[in-house]
């Protein structure tokens, strides 16, 4: 089963498209949890409640205050109580899936390759020069398990659509999602999750080159606009201060 996490904040303008892109997938063995992370407009929480209440296997969580994307995602995953073989899928509440075959492509990739995680290729809309495309890591990085060090010479090569088997996710240490004072990272949650999962996967990951995801570059409250300096600080802490994970396989 796919466990689909949708974290949203002040994204009511795009959220209907986000949820519909999930709802009309041809692959139907999935569960969804949509989180409203303390949006300023109460209409967003109302919309989420109404939409999810009409669907089987659609759940929602409403925050009274903004707690951050990473906290919201972890809370949603915990709520859906996955099994080891379930696949966690992240979709941001201001983005959407590119067509109705995305979930089928993801499942086919896992079955064909016996991988433990995937990331892939997105389409920025509208186009932005700052958007980087996903690539597979060099073999030397895989052998040395040096994904953190590679970030400083070759960048972070993963991107949307990100998926991980719960077998990997359950071995993450949630303290690695927090600052030393116990507060959760407000941003860079993708790095906090995907880098240690790559380390644990032992090379059993796939970079899907087919476009699966539309990345919305228009949202004025997206993390990279709201937290630009904080993203850099958080990336540095994750890559330099936190201990790399050992491969599970």
The tens digit of pLDDT for each residue in 129-153 reads: 667 789 999 999 999 999 999 999 9
Would you state the structure tokens that stand for residue 98, as one six-digit string?
Answer: 């590119």
The chain-wide mean pLDDT, for the chain, equals 94
What's the chain's Rg over C-alpha atoms?
17
Residue 164 lies in a domain: yes
Residue 26 lies in a domain: yes
How many domains, the chain? 1
Residue 90 lies in a domain: yes
Determine how β-strand 30-37 pairs with β-strand 2-8. parallel
Residue matched to tokens 């906090």: 192
CA 7 to chain centre: 9
Q: Is the pLDDT of residue 224 over 60?
A: no
E strand spans, 126-239: 163-165, 205-216
Q: Can you give the pTM of this predicted structure?
A: 0.95
Residue 54 lies in a domain: yes
Range of the domain at 146: 2-240
Residue 245 lies in a domain: no
Poorest-confidence range of 35-49, 153-167, 169-183, 207-221?
207-221
Helix (H, G, I), strand (E, B) or coil at 50: helix
How many Å apart are CA 191 and CA 210, to the nearest integer? 22
Residue 200 lies in a domain: yes
- Does residue 198 contact residue 118 with C-beta atoms inside 8 Å? no
pLDDT above 70 covers a percentage of the chain that reads 95
Q: Is the pLDDT of residue 58 over 70?
A: yes
Residue 249 lies in a domain: no
Stretch 115-125: mean pLDDT, rounded? 94
Residue 248 lies in a domain: no
pLDDT of residue 225: 59
CATH code at position 85: 3.90.550.10
């Amino acid at each position: 089963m796919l466990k689909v996490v949708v974290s949203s904040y002040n994204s009511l303008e795009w959220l209907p498209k986000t949820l519909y892109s999930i709802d009309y997938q041809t692959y139907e063995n999935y569960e969804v949890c949509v989180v409203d992370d303390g949006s300023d407009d109460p209409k967003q929480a109302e919309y989420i409640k109404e939409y999810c209440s009409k669907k089987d296997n659609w759940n929602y969580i409403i925050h009274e205050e903004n707690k951050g994307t990473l906290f919201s995602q972890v809370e949603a995953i915990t709520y859906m109580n996955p099994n080891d073989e379930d696949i966690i899928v992240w979709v941001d509440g201001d983005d959407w899936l590119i067509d109705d075959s995305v979930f089928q492509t993801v499942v086919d990739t896992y079955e064909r390759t016996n991988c433990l995680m995937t990331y892939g290729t997105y389409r920025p809309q509208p186009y932005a020069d700052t958007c980087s495309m996903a690539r597979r890591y060099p073999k030397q990085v895989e052998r040395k398990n040096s994904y953190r060090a590679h970030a400083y010479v070759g960048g972070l090569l993963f991107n949307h659509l990100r998926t991980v088997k719960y077998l990997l996710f359950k071995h993450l240490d949630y303290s690695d999602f927090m600052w030393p004072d116990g507060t959760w990272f407000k941003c860079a949650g993708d790095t906090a999750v995907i880098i240690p999962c790559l380390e644990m996967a032992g090379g059993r990951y796939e970079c899907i080159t087919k476009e699966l995801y539309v990345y919305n570059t228009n949202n004025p409250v997206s993390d990279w606009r709201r937290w630009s300096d904080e993203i850099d600080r958080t990336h540095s802490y994750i890559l330099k201060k936190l201990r790399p994970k050992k491969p599970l396989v």
